[in-house]
Amino acid sequence: MAEELIPRDYQAEADAYLDRATVELPPEEVALVLTVLANRVATRLHNLAHGESTARKGAPEWPDWAALQNAASIAAMILTTETLVTDIPEKEKAMPPAMPPEY
């Protein structure tokens, strides 16, 4: 029989942890701590999703774990490099002038 999960308020727990961790820090250090924390969270989420997607290969929930792994990987890359590469849309080219009718 599977254990039942006890409902928890994860957001409140995270807020309380962050309040305790940053209560006496100046704003500049709080920003640095939160940036490093966000990077570590994205990396750990990627590692968790990678393990689960590998273990569940072929299972119905595999695409969900693979998508989570990809999203976490992109988030970690953006947080680490502070860079995002996107496609620049091409401007529509003007139509060439119509050929004059032949007489």
Q: Would you list the domain boundaries of the chain?
A: 26-81
pTM above 0.75, yes or no: no
For position 2, what pLDDT does the model report? 56
Q: How far is CA 42 from CA 1, 26, 66, 92, in A?
A: 32, 24, 14, 38
pLDDT at 35: 85
What tens-digit pLDDT sequence spans the chain (103 residues)? 456 777 788 899 989 988 888 888 898 998 888 888 888 888 898 899 889 888 988 899 889 988 988 898 888 888 778 777 777 778 887 777 777 777 7
- pLDDT of res. 90: 80
Question: What is the pLDDT, as a whole number, of residue 91?
Answer: 81
70 exposure class (CB count in 10 Å sphere: 0-12, 13-18, 19+): middle
